[in-house]
Chains A and B, each alone.
Chain A
Amino acid sequence: MLSELKESFMEVVWAIAPLTLVVVLLQLSIIHMPLVDFVRFLIGALLVMLGFLLFLQGVKVGLLPMGEMVGAELPKRAGLPLILLTAFLLGFFVTVAEPDVRVLSHQVDLVSQGEIGKNLLIATVALGIGIFVCIAMLRIILGIPIAYLLAGSYLAVLALSFFTPPDFVPIAFDAGGVTTGPITVPFILALGIGTASVLGGRSSIADAFGLVGLASVGPVLGVMLLGIFHR
């Protein structure tokens, strides 16, 4: 236990120390930000390190096993429709709950001059994620190669990008990252790993991962479509 804690501690130091060092060096050499901001940064670095340490520990004993167990239980107990329904609901509500989605909705509000309301945007993004989590689960179960799905979706994204108002393009791509917050990622990753583990016999890594990647295409397409239809 103690050696494990020491290992995690070192991991966290290695994670945060480089960033802190770079900012300190920049501060001393060229940027000279006001002292208050710098002191706040240093206190922040301590909090971030402590938080990171607790978070990593907690995820390893909490969120990861939870996700893996639900993922492994799902195909054993439920039929296909119920699996898909669960996947859809999970994707949808995780998105609605993600704080970043609200930041995104604010930005879209700004570039659309208030024509695209907050609720419409959140619903679109959540729907996009819900549908693509379904597709991703279906892929794991049916063993469809991920390359086909990704190639198809990204070609669609590229094609749409020519019709999307230019203001929306970078925001659409950014929307892909909104559901992948630090709480969602471990759970969704573990869900895929759990599901792939009970459907044995196939290359487990290729099946286990890709859920997050596929899910992030949904909002990109969603926001692009919103941009196209709003004009």
Chain B
Amino acid sequence: MSELLAFLEVEEVLLEVLVALGPLVLLFAVFQIFFLRLPREYVLNLIKGLFLSFLGLVLFLQGVKVGFLPAGARMGEILGSFSQRWVLVPIGFVLGFVATIAEPAVRILSYEIEKTSGGSIRAKTILLTLAFGVAFFVALGMFRILWGIPIHYLIVPGYLVAVLMLRYTSPTFISIAFDAGGVATGPMTVTFVMALAVGVATVMENRSPILDGFGLIALVALAPILAVMGFGLLYSFRKGK
């Protein structure tokens, strides 16, 4: 029972989120005082929103830290010591998919894209493209760890392909693709996807939990770049027809 009380220890997460908000609030305050001078009522509304997002993020991160992290680590350990290791490839795929869907920053990005494009690029489309991209690369990453393929062999060609694709993709999708790459690696992917890699690497010989774990996250960051640019190529191709 006492282990469930860990949910009540929120000080650390509370402080983290507060510190992360600090510079942004400060910047806004400077702008409000010197340039913007928005009406009081409007600012009060913004502060309400800020407070809501603060509270929400604290609950979210606390749930991840106390509830998900131990479960993720335990899952990684148990699956890593499995005798039939190939199951990690499909499980990696599924976990990569559902973790991306649950990533808050990914939601915000898709929402902003739909809003800015006036609805011509749907949030759901972006979300699913990202989720499939990440799922595929997590599966690939698990395969790499199991068969001991050096991470360079995936990352270097991956980024080379990305640079090549820049030539053929429209600027709209380039911008979105690279933003998505930065956004896909959040608390959820780290909890479930990295835990899986660390679990396997701990059990197998000649594997480093830190490097293999990080290597997988590097692949997760590459996945949306390729997926969204690929989607963009398809999109302009179909439009051109």
Taking a contact as CB atoms under 8 Å apart, the answer to whether B101 and A15 are in contact is: yes
Contact with B along A123-158 (1 / 0, CB 8 A): 000000000000000000000011100110011011
Q: Within the complex, which residue of A14, A99, A111, A151 is in contact with B20, where a contact is CB–CB below 8 Å?
A: A99
Taking a contact as CB atoms under 8 Å apart, the answer to whether A77 and B35 are in contact is: yes
Taking a contact as CB atoms under 8 Å apart, the answer to whether A62 and B50 are in contact is: yes
Q: How many residues of chain A are within 8 Å of chain B by beta carbon?
A: 105
Q: Within the complex, which residue of A43, A55, A86, A204 is in contact with B4, where a contact is CB–CB below 8 Å?
A: A43
Taking a contact as CB atoms under 8 Å apart, the answer to whether B102 and A18 are in contact is: yes
Number of A-B contacts (CB under 8 A): 341
Given contacts A174-B185, A185-B183, A213-B178, contact A54 B59 (CB under 8 A): yes
Taking a contact as CB atoms under 8 Å apart, the answer to whether B174 and A210 are in contact is: yes
Taking a contact as CB atoms under 8 Å apart, the answer to whether A58 and B95 are in contact is: no
List residues of chain B with CB within 8 A of the CB of A69. Answer: 31, 36, 38
**CB nearest to B213 among chain A residues:** A170
- Is residue B24 contacting chain A, with contact meaning CB distance below 8 A? yes
List residues of chain B with CB within 8 A of the CB of A65. Answer: 46, 49
**A186→B195 CA distance, assembly (Å):** 26
- Is residue A9 contacting chain B, with contact meaning CB distance below 8 A? no
10 other contacts beyond A22-B95, A182-B104, with CB at 8 A cut-off?
A19-B99, A47-B60, A48-B68, A50-B59, A52-B60, A150-B163, A154-B163, A174-B217, A180-B105, A203-B172
A-B contact pairs, 28 of them (CB 8 A): A15-B102, A22-B95, A43-B63, A44-B63, A44-B68, A47-B67, A48-B63, A51-B57, A51-B58, A52-B104, A55-B53, A57-B52, A57-B56, A61-B48, A61-B49, A61-B52, A63-B50, A70-B31, A90-B27, A94-B23, A147-B174, A158-B156, A180-B105, A181-B186, A183-B17, A183-B21, A204-B116, A211-B179
